[in-house]
A and B are shown apart, each in its own frame.
Chain A
Amino acid sequence: MSRAVFGATAESSGARPQTMRRPLPDWVLALALLAAVTAVWELAIRLLHVSTFVLPAPSAVVRSLIASRAALAGAAASTALEVLLGFVLAAVTGIVVALVIARFERFGRALYPLIVLFQNVPKVALAPIFILWFGFDLTPKVALIVVIAFFPVAIDMLAGLQSVEPSFVALMQSVGASRTKILLRVRIPHSLPHLMAGLKVAITFSVIGAIVGEFAGASHGLGYMIEFASTQLDTPLIFAALVVISVLGLAFYYVVELAERLLVPWAPKFEAHHRAS
């Protein structure tokens, strides 16, 4: 009895893929979901008569975006510059720390716990100190981004450097390869997919670092605009700035993802794609 039922299910599911159309691409579904959430939000605000000071409707946010477009664009440019500089310095710092720990094992064993200890300091709390040290300009924001974003780079790169198969290292050693040679020819290329994963975390941390840095004290940037708008009780402008920050963060993220596809097409995550092509 039950066998017959299962048999019927298997048959019908076997026939389905031929009759079904191609599924919609993921991004279409994501956009549809976003549109649906926005529509519900808009409707809820209108039906429940929520005050704009508490939560503006999407239409109000869009109006604010258009009205303040010049100011928002200027603020976005300042923030983008901070993110870019901070991210590049964080990446370089993270890579150097990982290489030093991997190459000089003894020194690395001493350094590693200190870095983990430092990671446990709430970095956001350093923002006022950096303002004290470096003033209100670009430098304190970049410094904050570096201390926030270097850690995922260092940890992921280190994991990559250390996860080379021991038998492969033995093979290299057997023909007399030095530690430096093994590092350069095997460990570093092997660590690149891990490094790219770390960079993707770091770029999102960098945007957060820039905004927090601007909260602590700034005269321009998207974080500063949010601070300014909140003193004016201009909630739609706060949301408009948040939209710009999100778009900026997304753009940076996809630049890193694109770099990943170009630099490490052999990474395990692309393997399925690789086989197909």
Chain B
Amino acid sequence: MTAALSVVHPLGAAADAAMTDAPTPLVDASDIAVDFYLEGRRQRVLQAINLAVPKGSFVSLIGPSGCGKSTLLKVLAGLIMPTEGRVSVDGIVPREAAKRRIIGLVFQDATLLPWKNAIENAAFLLMTADDSIGRVEAFARAAAMLKLVGLDDAERKMPSQLSGGMRQRVAIARALALDPQVLLMDEPFGALDAITREEMSRCLLDIWQRTGKTIVLVTHSIEEAVFLSREVHVMASAPGRIIETLPIALSQPRDADSFTDPAFKTAQQRLRGLLIESHRRRPA
């Protein structure tokens, strides 16, 4: 606890905010480096990462496989401690933030419990996080979140009866049931087919617009990143680093027309160019 608070002193943070006259970002990583030990050899996986995600924003991390974007997300989630640098989520270290249910996590696999139905799965993490919360209250919240992700008629279905997209919706509802301030998503639609993927993108956009949650999305898909994000961070590998941050200047709110917006094409081409470049910089 004390260690957590001493990392970012509340007074210091307030003073910084006052000086720069800008709101403190909800997710703030400065000079992050992460080393892994592979077969006894120290390897730098992430290098000099600076990332500031304002409250209520939608930010994507995109980059070639193995560039460390998932590792970066795990650092933000408090699942990996950075070797160097400081991370804070809502002013405290991520591990504490996660315990206080400020962070919601969604992975590529829905990881639902096969012996529980949709609503039990959606309520499960909330009930694990907070023993004092009653079953009735947890289920009410889970039901509301299932409705938000468009699954209100599938509450009693078992995971084996749900499609891949529906399972991932339950996983999103489970994260949202914690009522987190930030949703960290690691390639949540990576295992889905193209059409379901598009559908899920629209669903996520809808959730973002309705709840105003801050979202950090790791993705492989350029279209997904452009369509959803306010800002896209392009990463390169060996060591993993952010090579460019691209603001997406599409009009809000985004909808089907966004795809035909000339700004969409421009951002898409720019990202493609950056990704090709980052691929080329990879050692073979």
| A residues whose Cβ falls under 8 Å from a Cβ of B | 165, 167-168, 170-177, 181, 185-186, 189-190, 192, 264, 266, 268, 271, 274-275
Q: CB within 8 A of A185: which of B99, B105, B107, B128? A: B128
Interface of chain A, main secondary structure: helix
Check B107–A167 contact: CB distance below 8 A: yes
Given the interface pairs A176-B129, A274-B158, A274-B161, the reply to whether A171 lies near B178 with Cβ below 8 Å is: no
Check B109–A189 contact: CB distance below 8 A: no
Count how many pairs of residues, one from A and one from B, have CB atoms less than 8 Å apart in the complex.
55
Chain A neighbourhood of B178, CB < 8 A: 175
Complex formed: what's the CA distance from A171 to B105 in Å? 7
Chain B neighbourhood of A271, CB < 8 A: 160
Closest 8 CB pairs of A and B: A175-B129, A176-B99, A174-B98, A168-B111, A266-B115, A167-B107, A266-B114, A271-B160
Check B105–A174 contact: CB distance below 8 A: yes
**B239 interface residue (CB < 8 Å to A):** no
CB distance from A252 to the nearest CB of B (A): 26
Chain B neighbourhood of A173, CB < 8 A: 79
Given the interface pairs A274-B158, A275-B161, the reply to whether A176 lies near B109 with Cβ below 8 Å is: no
Chain A residue, CB-CB nearest to B78: A174
Chain A neighbourhood of B113, CB < 8 A: 168, 186, 189-190
| B132-160 interface bits toward A, Cβ cutoff 8 Å, 1 = contact, 0 = none | 00000000000000000000000000101
Given the interface pairs A174-B105, A266-B160, the reply to whether A181 lies near B115 with Cβ below 8 Å is: no
Query: Which of A165, A175, A176, A177 gathers the greatest number of chain B CB atoms within 10 Å?
Result: A175
Chain A neighbourhood of B124, CB < 8 A: 185
Complex formed: what's the CA distance from A186 to B121 in Å? 12
Check A174–B79 contact: CB distance below 8 A: yes
**B125 interface residue (CB < 8 Å to A):** yes
Pairs A–B under 8 Å by Cβ, sample size 17: A168-B113, A170-B105, A171-B105, A171-B107, A171-B111, A171-B125, A174-B77, A174-B78, A174-B79, A174-B103, A175-B99, A176-B129, A177-B128, A177-B129, A185-B124, A189-B115, A271-B160
Complex formed: what's the CA distance from A268 to B158 in Å? 12
Having A168-B111, A274-B158, one finds 4 other A-B pairs with CB under 8 Å, namely A174-B77, A174-B78, A174-B105, A266-B158
Chain B neighbourhood of A185, CB < 8 A: 124, 128
Complex formed: what's the CA distance from A185 to B121 in Å? 12
Complex formed: what's the CA distance from A166 to B128 in Å? 17
CB distance from A144 to the nearest CB of B (A): 35
**B101 interface residue (CB < 8 Å to A):** yes
